[in-house]
Structures are given as structure tokens and as C-alpha cells.
Amino acid sequence: MIGIYLCDDDEAVRHQIQTALEWKIFLENYDMKVMCSAANARELLDVVESSKRGIYFLDVELKDSEWDGFRLGQELRRRDPHCTLVYITSYGDLAWRTFQYHLEAFDYIVKEPEQIGPSVSQCLEEIYARLLAERQDPAEMFTLRTGEIVRHVPLGDIFLFETSPTPHHLLLHTSNSRIDFLGSLNELEMQLGDRFIRIHRAYLVAADKIKAVDLKHNKLWAGDYECLISRAGKAELRKKMGGSR
């Protein structure tokens, strides 16, 4: 049973949305229920303790000095990390990229009188499809935090970790990204186990991404990235590769 929560200071809008939702739920027989229709942020937050994958329809322009749409979304994301956030806006132009990226907001709906019903319906359908897809086993992820943003990188995509010129920072390389974050190679080595080999004080390389090794010149290629091998690194390589290379 997935809970749906509404928060908008306009009662007419809440009523419209709730009606549309309940109709859609009934029609498609979703395992969802509208739990709360709050007029302000505080009312909503009182009800939500730590929900499981709730769906939240939030007004972007909440007239509350402490909670605006974005901050409310942040707080909900904190309490219910896997929730779905949908924003309701009267103008159709919100800072959408900011919401999408920093809150992982799912979608937004414009408060046009004719449009609300169908938009909400369509939105719920898409949410349902996504929830179904999520049920399957997610790929193994490497998680790193940069401030409030938590990034998940599929472990299978990572080529290597290396030390960054900035003190206490590391660089993570995949085939299409380069991430600089706070971390220590020693900790990562322990955390990640056998899939990664510490070939040098400054390099932690994915075992399955090693393309070529040049032992004479102490070099190794993980994908297109060239790395150095230290003496201890060579021993690690031999141990983990089982002498087959």
C-alpha cells in the first residue's frame, strides 16, 4: 500500500487532485491510497514520520516563510529517501532543472483548470510504471556524497579511482564521467574487496577493466586511462590475477 500525500494551500486545487487520483486508483486498481490532504507544510510534516516510498504532490509556491516547495521536498526526501515528488505550479515555469536534479523530483503539473485532472492521471500512471520497474534487482552501486547530493555510480561502470591533486580528494573515472570527491583509497580498498586492485599508492583499478599491462615499464591501462604500477602493486596484481596475465 503506497501512500499519497497532498500539500497545497488552495483547497479547490487539492480537491481536484484528490478526485482525479482516487478515480484513477479505482479505475486501474492500484495499491495506493490518498492518506493526507494538507493545507500547509506543517500539517503534512506532522503526518509524515518516515514513510515508505510515498508519493507527494506539493505546491511549488507554498506561502510559508519557513517551508517553500523546495525545502519541503528536501525534508521529505530526507525522511523518505525513495519517495516520489510531484510539484504543482501555477506558472509552468519553475526552476525545473534545480528541482529535478537536487530533489529527483519526478514531474510537475500546471494548475490549469481543464488540465489538472488528466495531468494527474497521466502522472500517476507513469509513477506506477516506474515503481514496478524499480522492484527488479538494482545493479550494484557505489555511493558517494557531495554535500547533500548522493550519487550512485554502478560499480560495473567504474574504471578506476585515483588520488586527486587536491588534498584528501579522489577522482573516480567511468567511461563517461569523472567525479572528484572526498575519500581515501585505503578505505575504498577495504570496502570494495576483490573487484578492485590497488596497483599503486595512487591508483585503485577495477580488475575487469584492465585492458593491457606493461610490466617492464610499470604501466597499466584501465580502459583508455594509463596508470602506474608500484612494486607492491605488481605483487597485488599477481595475487589477484592468479598469474594468468
Partner 1 sequence: MPPLFLSPLIAVLISYGLHAVLDFRILQYFISSFFILAMCTLWVMWAWQMDFWRSFSAVCMAGILQVATSALAQLIFLMFPTDLGVNIAAMVISLFFSAVVAILLSMSCFGSWFRLLLEDQVNLYRITVLLFVLEVSMEVFFLLQRGVQGQYLVAYYILIVVLVIVISGLIVYLAHRFDDSRMLQAQQDIIAQQQFYERHLEDIRQEVRSFRHDYKNLLAGLFQQAGEGKLDALQSTLAELGADFDRHLGEKIQMSVQIGNLQIPQVRSLLLSKLADFGKKDVEWHLEVLYPVKAVGMNMWDFVRCLGILMDNAEEAALETERPWVEIVLLAQSGRLFLQVSNPYISVLDPEKMWNESWSTKGAGRGLGLPGYRHILEGYPNASSYTSWENGVFVQELVVED
What type of residue sits at position 190? M
List b or e across 77-86, with b for residues whose CB sees 16 or more CB atoms inside 10 angstroms: beebeebbbb
The interface region with partner 1, picked from 36-44, 47-55, 97-105, 194-202 by CB under 8 A, is 97-105
To partner 1, the closest distance from the beta carbon of 56 in angstroms equals: 18
d(CA 214, CA 229): 9
149: contact with partner 1 by CB under 8 A: yes
Beta-sheet strands, E only, within 30-168: 32-38, 55-59, 84-89, 107-110, 141-146, 149-154, 158-163
Q: What is the smallest separation between the CB atom of 216 and partner 1, expressed in angstroms?
A: 22
Closest CB to partner 1 among 54 and 183? 183
CB of 170 to partner 1, least distance (A): 10
Does 191 engage in binding with partner 1 (CB under 8 A)?
no
Query: Going by C-beta distance under 8 Å and a sequence separation of 6 or more, which residues neighbour residue 165?
Result: none
**Residue 209 C-beta: closest distance to partner 1, Å:** 14
- For residues 89, 91, 92, 97, the Cα torsion angle rounded to the nearest 10 degrees is -70
- Distance (Å, rounded) from C-alpha 27 to C-alpha 184? 53
In the complex, least distance from residue 20 CB atom to partner 1, rounded to whole angstroms: 17
Stretch that binds partner 1, among 42-50, 168-176, 185-193, 209-217 (CB under 8 A): 168-176
Q: Which residues 65-84 are close enough to bind partner 1 by CB under 8 A?
A: 70
Q: Which residues of the chain form contacts with partner 1 (CB under 8 A)?
A: 70, 91-93, 95-98, 101-102, 112-114, 146-149, 151, 164-169, 173, 176-182, 224-226
